Structure formats: structure tokens, C-alpha cells
Amino acid sequence: MTQPRFARFAIALPLYRVFEYSLDSEDPAPVGTRYRLPFTSGTRTGVLLGASDASDFDPARIRQVVERIDEQAVLDGHMLELSRWMADYYLQPPGEVVFQCLPGYLRGARPHHSTRVKCWKLKLPDPGAIEGLRLRSPRQYEICIALQRHRRGLTALQLRQINPKWHPVVRALEARDMLFWEWVEGGIGHLPAVDLPELSAGQSALLAEMEPRLGSFAVHLIDGITGSGKTEIYLRLIRDRFAAGQQVIYLVPEIGLTNQLIERVRLRFGDCFAISHSGLTELQRYRAWDRFRRGEVGIMLGTRSSLFSQCDNLGLIIIDEEHDHSYRQEDGIRYHARDVAIKRAQMLDIPIVLGSATPSLESINNCARETYHRYRLDHRPTRFAPPRLELVDIRNSQVEFGCGTRVFARIERHLACAGQVLVYLNRRGYAPVVMCHECGWQALCRHCDMRLTLHQSAHSLLCHHCGFSQVVPESCPECCNGEVRHYGIGTEQLEQGLVQRYPDTPVLRIDRDVAGSRAALGERLRQLESGEPCILIGTQMIAKGHDYPAITLSVILDADQALFSSSYRASERLAQTLFQVSGRAGRGDRAGEAVVQTRFPEHPLMQALLRKSYRDIAQELLQERRSFGFPPYARVVMFRADAIELKEALEKLDEIRELLAVTRRFEELTCVGPMPALMTRRIGRYRAQLCLISQDYQVLRSVLSQSMPAIEQLASTSRTSWAIDVDAYDL
């Protein structure tokens, strides 16, 4: 048989093709191996997709690879198959998708060498020698006993759990010639022995119903109110997979308060898990990826891109807060981690568990269509049900730094009863509007269609989209003599006001401006954990995922904006946020309260939030979506273009529209645009969009599969670039 000589490679370029090279050796590497490839005048990293002994191209013009980078493949066959599916479904350039599946650390040419770990083992399991240590050296005895139980040995991490000062003890035992160490490539670690809490009736019933269905692919949605014990269910499911020798991917949204969850997982699973999120360096994330891949840990706990963790025996994927927007990647390769995870589970024929107190309308609709199994948890295992929302009308109230008098009264009552108070305001900075009192000049970003936000502590005006900043002008730059004033309230100003008003109460602000500093964040979280009265102020970051039992009051300021948003998803998101934020209160042994401050108490959505459950509201919103023909009853594919000038962006989309319009069935779908995007100028570029909507997915697919070969030829340049967004989140 002839050896393969030609090979196809994925390269991270925004082009809809793979690249062919000839191999230098007779020895074919496995697919998923990285190579250094000649490319124009330099080199690029490519991932081997396949090899054959013939080529469609002129063999004389095919260049030879420079060198092989990896000994072993960095992507397994399943991952390559998943990336093919993603490229096809999301209509993304295949090379970029393949690189998306790799940890950032390996996207270039850095070498991949599995980190081995030292593992200590008992040399002679002579009971006499060990017994002799019992009285003479109890610390050495303790470690010997542990090693006797774990014949496969213990790593430094595991030894530290037995004794934080393990090192001198182990050295002494080595000196006694009772221990030795060797390099190991991993193996699932040891679970600590813990007493599991007794399950509530609801939790037991749920598990009993789910368990018989866990043998193969199925989507399970746990629709359980806030604090109903969903996390406890996930931890039980993980434990069972462990017992069966399988590994688990556990995805959580990108949030600031994951520390608590990490601690909870650590208590249950010791060091048998790896963590990956955007707060870690590329190297740390790569190490986590590698430990999971080698089977050294059984759980990958992480945010969106942790979905692309590989291992030999994945048994379950869990997606907590499945409705969360952070699962959708909005730049670069556009995909929804929940939807890709479902596909991955289907390919591997394993179960996937989604959980939320406020499931997405997509998932609720999928339950109604009976493609998902739905489970309800309607009670908290703790004493009190989640608080009902109350509206506080501030139309005729005196307002100070965004809070009306009734809100102050409520805060004071809870502080007096030693409760913790959470105040949600989804706007960081000091004030969102800065303008001239005389001529009406406004501080706008030079690069975006956005107002600049005043950040007082940084003495600057900052754009939240592109990071542009400038100093605060003393007088109006337009009319030169007007006074520059600020309007509206951000978290920074709210913090300042509350500190002044409640000088004896700690006021903790958590938003992106403080989350960058780990020390500051840790300090604030410790205060919350202490259970002492305090006021927690924050944005999205404090809205979800945490469980602090001393919080008894949730206050939601400024929910009104969402009532008048142009986004068709605004109502869904508002309902989710309000139920999530209110659900942070009353988790301990005191009942909680939740108030929403509004100027529009009669607005139908406000009234609905007041009187109805999330489930009922979701049903109504689904009815509305159906009657308007919006997702999930329709599918949306968005073409986006951005350019130095708006005209160029619109022209690019005109070209695309022409290519679409000549296809069969184009008439059957709705095509809107090209038109300027809602925020037309962003980071110095003008943006436009062209939207395809259809109730029938097959129509969309048919139009796209006919036109894509031509559309793919339209090159993106630095002047004008374009991208496709399948299942676009917003219109």
C-alpha cells in the first residue's frame, strides 16, 4: 500500500476552506496533530484533518509542511467531528472553528507536553513498621495509613488535604525508606468521604424519575425555583458518574461569584476537578484542559469554552443557568454553548442536564414539543419560599441617588433585623450621562454611537464598548462657558450615597470595576459569608448563582429601561433577571423580601411580574412570540458587515442579498435589510445587518446551501468585513 503523501489542514483564517500540503515523512501522524506550515512568506500552525495518497491539485504546486509540532494529537476524532458539525450548522469558516476547540495556549505553535505529577506510594506495606509510628510520630502514621488505603498513591495536592504541612513529614518517611515517589500520568483522584445531606422529597423524586433515562442521550431540563436544590442534584449526578468511572463537564455562566460554587464542589470532590474561566491565564486554562484530558480529574467546572474539553470517557454534561446569555459567543466564531453541548451529547450518546429557575423560552418550547424531559422543583429545602416581587412606585417620591424613601425604609428595617441587603443596579460607573447645562452638548464616544459614562474614582469619562477614555472637561467643550453636569445613577454613585447614609454598615460594591482585583473581591465575599449585616451593591454579577443565607432583602433599581427596549428579548430577560435577583433573598432561616422600584407600576409586564410565576409569564411571552413569528417559532440567520464607512458595509450586504435572491425558495422567507445596525458605529467601524427569518428551518437551509458557495468567495478585507450569525440572539 502506498503511504499517504497529501494532507488537509485546518488553519485559523476567516476562509471557507481547508488547506492542502504534502507530508515530509512516510510516517502518517494521527489526525488532530499540529504542524507548522509554510503560508505566503511566513508560517502558520495547522491541524491535520486527514491524509491521502492523491490530490485534486497540481502536485507540483503543493508545498511541503515545515515540521510536525506534536507527538500526540491535540484534538481527538470526536472533537474534529464536532467542529465539522459546528462549521456546517453555524456556517463559520472551518479552520477557525477547529482552533476554537483548542485551548488558547495551543492555538499557536507552543509545544504540548502533558504535565506529569509526582505520586507517593508506600514502599513496604509492613504493618509492623507502620504500627510502630502510631505513638512515636502520629503525623507520619496518619500519612502511612492514608497511603495504605490508596495503593495507587497520592499526589502532593492530595497529601496536602491530609496535612497542610505534609512535606517535611513525607521527607522523614522517605528518610526511613518507607515511601517512594514516581511520575504518573494521572488517573481519577480520590473522593473525600463526606456526609451527604438528606435529599428533599422533591429532589428524591426527581432523581428517581431521571435515573432510568441516564443510560443514553436525552436532554433533561431541571426547572426548579431559585434555591430549590438544583446544585445538589448536579453534585449527586456527578458522584454517580464518578462511581461508574466516567467524567463530567459542568458549565456555569461567566459570573463573579463562582467562588462559592468552587468551594462547594471542593468539599464534595476534593481535588478531583479542574477549573477554567476567563479570570485564569491561558497557561492555567491549558493545564486544566490537560488534566481533564488525561483523566487526572473527573470534573471540568468552567465557563462557555470549557465545553470543548476532551476526555476518553465523558459520561455527562451539566449546564447550570441554561438561560444565561453568556453561553452565547457573540464575536469571532458565533455559537451557543448550550446548543453545541446538546449536539455533543447526542454524538456521544450521553445524557445532558440543563438547569434554571428561569429557563429560556427555547428550552420551555422544546419541553412542550417533548424533545426534552422536564422536571420541576417547586420547594426550597430550606424554610422559606422565594419572596414574591413587590412594586415600589417612585413617581411621587423623593429620590436620592436613585432610591426612593420607601426603599430606604425597607433597607433600614432589614438592617435593623441583622439581615443583609442586596441592591441590584445594572449600570456601573458614577453617572451614565454627562452634558452641558447651557447648550445640551453630550459626552459621546469618539469611536462608537455611545454615551461616555462618568467614572469618578478614575476621574474620567469611559466608553463601555471600546474602552475609550478621556478626562472630564471643566467646562463645555462646545460652548466653552456652560457648566458640565452629570445625570443618572451608576453603582459607584449609589455606593457613595449609601456609605454616607449608613456610615456604620459595610457597603460592598461588586461590578466589573472591582472584580478585576481578586483581593478586593475576596474581601467582599468574606464579609458576605460572615453573615453580618451589610449592603451588597452590584450589576449582573450579583444577580445569579450565589447562595448567601443571610440576605433577606433584594432591591431592584431601574428595571424600567427594559420596558421600553426595542429588543424582542427584553421582556424575557427582564423577567429572568427579576426572578433571579429576588431569588437571592430568604435562603436561610429568615424569610426574604424583594422590591422593584418603578415609575411604571401599571405597565402590563410589571403587573404580570407582580402577580404571576415565571412559568406563567414565560407561557404568555411564548404566545406573543408565536403570534409575531419570532424565535423559537422562527429561525433567524443574520449577515453582519462592518466597514470604515457605512456605505461600504451596506454595499457588501447588498451583494450578499443578490446572491441569496437568486436561489429557489428565497421568496418563502422574510428578508429584512440591509440596514444600519442598532448601534451603527462601534469601535470606529460602521455596522450594518441583513436578516433572514423563516418559520421553516428547511427553507433557510435550502437558500443558504444554494448561495453559500458564492457568498463564501466574498473576501473580508480590512476595509469591509462580514460574518454570519446563525440563530442570532437579537434582531
Site residues (CB under 5 A) for Zn ion? 436, 438-439, 441, 445, 447-448, 463, 465-466, 468, 476, 478-479, 482
Residues 303, 204, 213, CA angle at the centre, nearest 5°? Answer: 65
- Report the residue from 226, 539, 552, 689 that binds ligand ADP according to the rule CB under 6 A: 226
Q: 3-class SS at 545?
A: coil
Using the rule CB under 6 A, give the single segment among 53-61, 195-203, 299-307, 654-662 that binds ligand ADP: 195-203
Residue appearing with cell numbers 426534552: 372
DSSP assignment of 422-461, as one string?
EEE----SSBSEEEETTT--B-B-SSSSSBPEEETTTTEE
Strands of 366-515 (E only): list them: 372-377, 389-393, 399-400, 403-404, 420-424, 433-436, 453-455, 460-462, 469-471, 484-487, 507-510
Is the distance from CB of 620 to CB of 595 less than 8 angstroms? Answer: no
CA-nearest of 215, 208, 290 to 246 is 215
Binding characters for ligand ADP, 363-392, by CB under 6 A (x = yes)? ------------------xx----------
Residues numbered 521 to 560 that lie near ligand ADP (CB under 6 A) are 547
In the complex, least distance from residue 233 CB atom to ligand ADP, rounded to whole angstroms: 7
The residue among 5 and 230 lying less far from ligand ADP, judged by its C-beta, is 230
- Report the residue from 5, 34, 230, 414 that binds ligand ADP according to the rule CB under 6 A: 230
Using the rule CB under 6 A, give the single segment among 171-179, 191-199, 471-479, 602-610 that binds ligand ADP: 191-199
H-helix segments, 90-218: 94-100, 127-136, 138-149, 156-162, 166-175, 201-210
- Is 132 a residue that touches ligand ADP (CB under 6 A)? no
- Is 419 a residue that touches ligand ADP (CB under 6 A)? no
In the complex, least distance from residue 250 CB atom to ligand ADP, rounded to whole angstroms: 12
Identify what 445 binds: ligand ADP, Zn ion, none; CB under 5 to 8 Å per kind.
Zn ion
The residue among 154 and 436 lying less far from Zn ion, judged by its C-beta, is 436
Cα 395 to Cα 405, 494, 555: the distances in Å are: 11, 19, 17
Q: What is the dihedral of CA 610, 612, 613, 618, to 10 degrees?
A: -110
Identify what 476 binds: ligand ADP, Zn ion, none; CB under 5 to 8 Å per kind.
Zn ion
Three-state helix/strand/coil letters over 229-296: CHHHHHHHHHHHHHHCCCEEEEECCCCCCCHHHHHHHHHHHCCCEEEECCCCCHHHHHHHHHHHHCCC
The residue among 261 and 690 lying less far from ligand ADP, judged by its C-beta, is 261
Binding characters for ligand ADP, 148-187, by CB under 6 A (x = yes)? ----------------------------------------
The residue among 587 and 685 lying less far from ligand ADP, judged by its C-beta, is 587
Identify what 13 binds: Zn ion, ligand ADP, none; CB under 5 to 8 Å per kind.
none
- Is 224 a residue that touches ligand ADP (CB under 6 A)? yes
- Report the residue from 229, 402, 586, 592 that binds ligand ADP according to the rule CB under 6 A: 229
The residue among 646 and 693 lying less far from Zn ion, judged by its C-beta, is 646
Residues 696, 698, 704, CA angle at the centre, nearest 5°? Answer: 115
Cell matching residue 654: 447588498
Identify what 690 binds: ligand ADP, Zn ion, none; CB under 5 to 8 Å per kind.
none
Residues numbered 574 to 593 that lie near ligand ADP (CB under 6 A) are 587
Q: Which residues pair with 299 in a beta bridge?
A: 248, 273
- Is 202 a residue that touches ligand ADP (CB under 6 A)? no
Instruction: Compute the distance between CA of residue 582 and CA of residue 325 in angstroms, rounded to an integer.
Output: 19
Q: Is the peptide bond before 138 cis (omega within 30 degrees of 0)?
A: no
Q: Is the dihedral of CA 711, 716, 721, 723 positive or negative?
A: positive
Q: What is the DSSP letter of 88?
A: H
Residue type at 575 in one-letter notation: A
- Kindly state the number of chain residues that form the binding site for ligand ADP, as judged by CB under 6 A: 17
The residue among 189 and 227 lying less far from ligand ADP, judged by its C-beta, is 227
Identify what 231 binds: ligand ADP, Zn ion, none; CB under 5 to 8 Å per kind.
ligand ADP
- Is 194 a residue that touches ligand ADP (CB under 6 A)? no
Residues that bind ligand ADP (CB under 6 A): 197-200, 203, 224, 226-232, 381-382, 547, 587
